[in-house]
Amino acid sequence: MYSTVLVRYGEISLKGKNRSDFEQRLLTNIDTALAGLPPRKIRKTFGRVFIELKDDLEEVKERLRRVFGVVSFSPVVEAPLDIAAIRERALYVLENTPGYTFKVETKRSNKGFPYKSPEINHLVGGYLLARTGQKVDVHNPDRVVHLEIRNDGAYIYSQIIPGPGGLPVGITGRGVLLLSGGLDSPVAGWLGLKRGLELTGLHFHSFPFTSERSKEKVIELGRILARYASGFRLVVAHFTEVQKAIRQNCPEEFYVTVMRRMMFRIAEKVAHREGALALLTGESLGQVASQTLESIAVINRVVELPVLRPVISWDKTEIMELARQIGTYEISIQPYEDCCTLFVPRHPATKPRLEKVEKAEEKLDVEGLVQECLENLETIEID
């Protein structure tokens, strides 16, 4: 009897004159997330989206759990605006929901309906009590039978399934995510998606110092992110010559600082090509030598685009916990090192000074190395 899924979208409803843009993007993203399933009606009324079901409730539920902007959703039974019909459909919902006690809660946005919310609770609750003999518990019930009385009908449900929340992907622009194979950057990317960004991933690959398997590992991480964004573009920058030049020409203590500055220079160029307005990294303050405030300040000096660091204040435990939740943890811990982990000097500078780092770069053909890297980019579209 469940014919529809009711979707709630929370934060979007607080938007002002541009609210319709957010709502339309959410509708588009839901439609894209359901691609490959039978065609169906998806419609919006004030504060709600309704998705027609085609005997595919479980698959629709699974896909909606990954659509940012969805705060929660419920499979609903629809009824005409008739109290007898509403009671019968409410009985169906109650009998198909496990538990021993219940209560009825009504929201009545249709002020023309002849009964007010407390009256509806009483009429429907009394009917359910008489038909089932189950107990009413208004304080701590096993089940709540929810009724929404709207202008176009009544919607009845008991299950409220959490969505990922946030904003619809694509509504806040595009960013370039510096994506390694570690734990932090995929989590940072997921958080960027949650705030409505479309992402292009940028991975620095240093074959033969890093293996093809390490690149495959990043592609697998891209597949996880693609599930939340209905697609993900991964750009692979072949970084071997840059790292070799740094090792040959720069003081060892600045290897990481100079390498990160080269990465940022390349990332900004890629961002311009992609129409992106920001860079994203998985940096966490104080975690490694390149993530002290002094290092971050020196590295940032080579780009003009804003650099977003969604996990800057998170510790490793928090990052690992979210990585497990979103499905990237088991991939990230695979033992295939990326170019950063292979390039750590014995005593890296944790408080580099800008003038010394710029001096260290003087022997590098910075522009030539960046250009060579840009000419050999590899683009992988991940569904």
pLDDT at 290 exceeding the cut of 80: no
What is the value of pTM for the model shown?
0.91
Tell me, what's the pLDDT at 1? 81
Output 12 or 89, whichever has higher pLDDT. Answer: 89
Output 181 or 81, whichever has higher pLDDT. Answer: 81
Residue 274 β-bridge partners: none
Tell me, what's the pLDDT at 277? 97
| Closest residue by Cα to residue 229 from 273, 166, 179 | 166
Whether the CB-CB separation of 42 and 81 falls below 8 Å is answered with no
Tell me, what's the pLDDT at 381? 96
Where does the pLDDT of residue 126 fall: very low under 50, low under 70, confident under 90, or very high at 90 and above?
Answer: very high
Whether the CB-CB separation of 239 and 268 falls below 8 Å is answered with no
Classify residue 155 by burial, with Cβ atoms within 10 Å: 0-12, 13-18, 19+.
buried
pLDDT in tens, 307-341: 999 999 999 999 999 999 999 999 999 876 766 66
- Specify the DSSP class assigned to residue 115: S
pLDDT in tens, 100-115: 999 999 999 999 999 9
Per-residue pLDDT averaged across 347-369, rounded?
Answer: 93
Where does the pLDDT of residue 15 fall: very low under 50, low under 70, confident under 90, or very high at 90 and above?
Answer: confident
Q: Which alpha helices (DSSP H) does 80-133 contain, by range?
A: 83-95, 117-132
pLDDT at 232 exceeding the cut of 80: yes
pLDDT at 52 exceeding the cut of 90: yes
| Closest residue by Cα to residue 67 from 186, 194, 201, 200 | 194
How far is 148 from 151, CA to CA, in rounded Å?
10
How far is 329 from 15, CA to CA, in rounded Å?
34
Owner of token pair 């929810």: 146
How far is 175 from 157, CA to CA, in rounded Å?
39
| Closest residue by Cα to residue 66 from 230, 282, 234 | 230
Tell me, what's the pLDDT at 346? 77
Tell me, what's the pLDDT at 339? 62
How far is 149 from 79, CA to CA, in rounded Å?
9
How far is 54 from 4, CA to CA, in rounded Å?
9
pLDDT at 189 exceeding the cut of 80: yes
H or E element in which residue 222 lies: helix 212-229
How far is 214 from 206, CA to CA, in rounded Å?
10
% pLDDT > 70, the chain: 97
How far is 31 from 39, CA to CA, in rounded Å?
9
Residue 106 β-bridge partners: 147
pLDDT at 241 exceeding the cut of 90: yes
Mean pLDDT of the chain: 93
Q: What is each CA distance from 301 to 297, 298, 305, in whole angstroms?
A: 7, 5, 10
